[in-house]
Amino acid sequence: MAVVSVRKTISSRGNHHVLDITSQVADSVQQSGVESGVATVFVTGSTAGVTTVEFEPGLVADLETAFDRLVPRELEYRHHERWGDDNGHSHVRASLLGPSLAVPFNGGRLELGTWQQIVLIDFDTRPRNREYLVQIVG
């Protein structure tokens, strides 16, 4: 069994910026030389999450609307009281989405559906350089 870990960095605008990282994850798997197994994508940090979506503007807008309804930005969060910042909603949203995703692969290729892309969503209130880890096990 082989385990290969690849660290990646991507720039984000923050404020629900949805970033398609599918090609970077696929490249990591292909370059690993591992033929079949599971690639786990894990974003470091507590105000971003990872999932799959059909990456198109309408769905990206719908997803933002859904998070705005579930976890409104304008509420007061106890996190604000403790740290004097404004990103309590960012932490709650990221917690609901989750920091990782496991994707099987065969023949060095991700087993994603035709309209399925891997995205990193940065919920924080400011631009950031986000780091994520692709760990390939096979």
Average pLDDT in the chain = 97
The answer on pLDDT for 85 being more than 90 is: no
DSSP conformational letter for 93: H
At 137, which amino acid appears?
V
Q: Which token pair is 129?
A: 């350089």
How is the chain split into domains, by residue range? 3-137
Confidence of residue 136 (pLDDT cuts 50, 70, 90): very high
Measured in whole angstroms, how far is the alpha carbon of residue 74 from the centre of its chain?
23
**What residues have CB less than 8 Å from 27, skipping those under 6 apart?**
none
Tokens 């891997």, residue?
A: 118
In CATH terms, 3-137 corresponds, of 3.40.50.150, 3.40.50.720, 2.60.120.460, 3.40.50.300, to: 2.60.120.460
- Of the pLDDT bands very low, low, confident and very high (cuts 50, 70, 90), residue 102 is very high
